[in-house]
Amino acid sequence: MWLLLAIVFIVLGALLFAFQGFFGRFPDNWEWVGIVLAWVGIAMGVQPFTQGIWGKPKIDIDFETYTPNMQVRGLYVYIYNRPISNRILVLLGVDRSTAHITATYSIKDNRTNDLIQENIIAKMRTEGDRKIQISLNSSIMPADIPVVGIDKAGNTELDIGEGKSVILNPGSYEFTVTVRYSGKQSIAKRNFSVGSKAYELFWERTNFK
């Protein structure tokens, strides 16, 4: 934004000098004034144009294992609306738009290929209470979705929404999350492992295209 304002002030300053006759007799040699005014119009239109192209939400999905200690462990999905990093775009005042997102996830047993649960409606949070739809501002801070955790009895539970859960037996599972926003969707997959011990719950390093 500051770069855009600087360009406008420079052009307007040049126009003021023209009226003072710095560039020649005025208005005899005024043809170039139209060019100056055209550049002012271009400068004024740069920010809306660049905002419309590069200011759209940029959704990234990451997988994290929450491990405060050996007994407490959980698997989370993090959803980011990445901020603008290009210096020129930042100077032009381009900002990433807020994304209004919903998400669902499914889980499949890799041993049997059976679908455990499908299209579970995710409850997300950036701060405050969890909701099924949130507005995610451009930030390095994500919205999070709790997926799998260890209960007090030591069982591994899959959160299926509405306060309900399903106990998962030891094994390998495929997890798929779909994030919807602005008429678009982002899909990410990752395997995770469940063992007989809490520390044996983790996201695997398998990446899907």
Whether residues 75 and 152 share a domain: the answer is yes
State pLDDT tens for residues 53-111: 666 788 999 999 887 666 668 999 999 998 887 777 666 677 788 899 999 999 999 99
State pLDDT tens for residues 24-49: 555 555 556 666 666 666 656 555 65
Whether residues 65 and 38 share a domain: the answer is no
Residue 102: DSSP 8-state: E
Whether residues 22 and 81 share a domain: the answer is no
Whether residues 41 and 74 share a domain: the answer is no
Structure pTM?
A: 0.73
User: Containing domain of residue 47, as a range?
Assistant: 2-54
Whether residues 48 and 26 share a domain: the answer is yes
**Cβ pair 167, 103 in contact under 8 A:** no
Whether residues 155 and 135 share a domain: the answer is yes
Q: What is the rounded CA–CA span in Å between residue 51 and residue 28?
A: 39
Average pLDDT over residues 165-182: 93
Q: What is the rounded CA–CA span in Å between residue 105 and residue 63?
A: 13
